[in-house]
Amino acid sequence: MPERDHLAASRRGFLGLAAGGLALAAGSGAARAARVDTSARILILGAGAAGVAMASRLTARLRGATITLLDPRPEHWYQPGFTLIAAGLKPATYAVSSTAQWIPRGATLVPEAAAEIDPETNTVTTESGTKLGYDFLIVATGLVLDWAAIEGFSLDLVGPEHGIGAHYAGPSYAARTWAALDAFTSKGGQALVGRPATEMKCAGAPLKFAFLTEDTAARKGTRGSVAVTYAAQSTALFGVPIVSEKVRMLFAERGIGVVYEHVLKAIDPGARTATYATPEGDKVLDWDFINVIPPMRAPAAVRNSPLPWADKWTDQGWVEADQATLRHPRYPNVFAVGDVAGVPKGKTAASVKWQVPVIEDHLVAEIAGRGEGTERYDGYTSCPLITRVGRAMLVEFDYRNNLVPSFPGIIAPLEELWISWLMKEVALHATYNAMLRGRA
C-alpha cells in the first residue's frame, strides 16, 4: 500500500526530537514540484497555524497567484504552549509572536475579520465593508471559545483571587491560571477540571491539566490536602478507547477522581460551586480551584454562512468538508483546514501539519489543470499527553481510533516516557515554527 507507507513515513516528519547529544527529526514527502503559473485569487480566512502554513506552501508552489490572508489579531499564539504556561514552566511570552512576521513573501495580510461569506458569489465581506472576491477560499478561521455559555463565569475572574483558571483563553490567561493553580496547590482543597461537550481543540489538554494539577501538589508536598476531580463530558475520558482506558488507569493510580457525564454549565465564584448538567439533572460540586474550558464553536461569520454542515454539529457550525480531501462538497472551490474544519478529531497543530499538504495538492492540481489531487488526510493527530512534569505519552491516532505511532518499537504510545516530554517541551515549538514557514 504505497499511500499508507507514505503517510507512515511522513508522519515521522512531524516530531522533531532533541535530547542532549541526540537529535532526530526525520521525514519524507513528495519532492517539490516546479512552480505553477496562475492568476488565481486565493483567499485564506485566518492567519493562525493553519492559515499561515497554507499560505507558505502555496506561495512556494504558485507563481502569480494573489494570496490574501484575513486576520484581525496582531498576535500569533503558539497554542500548544498554553499548557506549559499554565503549569508554570514557561512565561506568557513563550506563546506570543506577531502575526505579520509569519506572512510569507508573496501573500498579503488584511488585518480584519470576515463579516460575511458568500460562496454563491465567491465573495467575502470584511468587517469594514470591503468586498473581496476569490477563485478559491480556504477557511482557516480557527474557532471561538463560548465563555458566555458558562453562566456566572467571566474572564475577569481568572486568577488566584477567585481560584479560577481558564488556560484556553490565551497566553496571559494561561499565566493567570498558573498563578491560581500555584496558590491553590500551596493551600490545598478541591480542584475541578473538565471539558466541554462540544468538539474541542486538543481534547488531551484537559487531561494534561488534571495530571499537572496533581503533580504540582505532589511536588510541593501538599498532595495530602489536595483533591483533584476530573469531570468528563461523556462516559469516556478520551475519544480513542484504548487511550481512554490508559488514562482511567493512570487517574486511579494517581488518585485523581472522575465523575462521568458532567458538563459544566454554571459557576458561582462567591459560593465556589459549579453546576453540571448530567443525565440525572443538574448537579452541584464544590471547588477551591476550577479550570474552565467552555464550549467551542465556529466563528459567527462561518456559522451564519452557507458553509457549515446542515445535519451535523448544528449547534457548533463546523465547515462541511470531505474527510479525506477537506474540500467542501457543495462549493468545490472552498476548503476547510484546522479547527474550523467539520471533520472528526483533527483540532490540533499536528492535524494542521497533515491537512495543509493535502489541500495544497488538490488546489495546485486543479490550478495546473491536472484535475483532482491524490493526497488524502486520514485523520492523523498527535497529542503528547503530559502526565507530569518530565513525562508524557506520545499518543498519535487517526479517524478510525487506530494508534499510529511514528516511532513504533522505540517510543511506545501508551508508555509514560521522558523522551515524549522532551519532544513536547523542547522540540515541538521549533517544529511548529518550521511548519508555519512551510518547511516541515
Partner 1 sequence: MKQLTFGTLIAVFEEMFGRALFWALVAAAAVITLAYLYVLIRDRAVSWRKFLLAQLSMPVGAVAAVVFVMWITESRLSDIGGPIDAIVLLGIAAVGAVGLAILVYTVQSLVRRPGAG
Which residues here bind partner 1, judged by CB under 8 A?
A: 10, 13, 16-29, 32, 89, 357, 388-391, 410-412, 415-419, 421-422, 425-427, 429-431, 433-434, 438-440
Nearer to partner 1, 100 or 410 (CB): 410
Nearer to partner 1, 237 or 356 (CB): 356
Pairing of strands 123-126, 114-118: antiparallel
Which amino acid, residue 35?
R
Nearer to partner 1, 141 or 177 (CB): 177
Pairing of strands 36-37, 66-70: unpaired
Q: Which of 36, 84, 109, 202 is catalytic?
A: 202
Report, in Å, the least distance between residue 357 CB and partner 1: 8
Give the three-class secondary structure for 99: helix
Which amino acid, residue 235?
T
Report, in Å, the least distance between residue 101 CB and partner 1: 15
Give the three-class secondary structure for 158: coil
Report, in Å, the least distance between residue 39 CB and partner 1: 26
Return the C-alpha cell found at 269.
465564584
Pairing of strands 131-133, 123-126: antiparallel
Report, in Å, the least distance between residue 109 CB and partner 1: 23
Return the C-alpha cell found at 354.
497533515
Report, in Å, the least distance between residue 243 CB and partner 1: 17
Report, in Å, the least distance between residue 381 CB and partner 1: 17
Question: Residue 267 and residue 164: Cα distance in Å, rounded?
Answer: 10
Which amino acid, residue 159?
G
Nearer to partner 1, 299 or 438 (CB): 438
Nearer to partner 1, 74 or 255 (CB): 255
Question: Residue 419 and residue 213: Cα distance in Å, rounded?
Answer: 21
Measured from the Cβ of residue 96, the count of other Cβ atoms closer than 10 Å reads: 16
Report, in Å, the least distance between residue 351 CB and partner 1: 16
Closest CA to 139 of 331, 338, 325: 338
The phi and psi torsions of 58 (rounded to 5 degrees) equal -70, -40
Closest CA to 150 of 142, 158, 141: 158
Give the three-class secondary structure for 334: strand
Q: What is the sign of the dihedral through the CA atoms of 311, 312, 318 and 322?
A: negative
Give the three-class secondary structure for 212: helix
Nearer to partner 1, 91 or 269 (CB): 91
Measured from the Cβ of residue 73, the count of other Cβ atoms closer than 10 Å reads: 15
Nearer to partner 1, 21 or 371 (CB): 21
Q: Is 202 a catalytic residue?
A: yes
Q: Which of 40, 232, 383, 386 is catalytic?
A: 383
Q: Which residue numbers are catalytic?
A: 202, 383
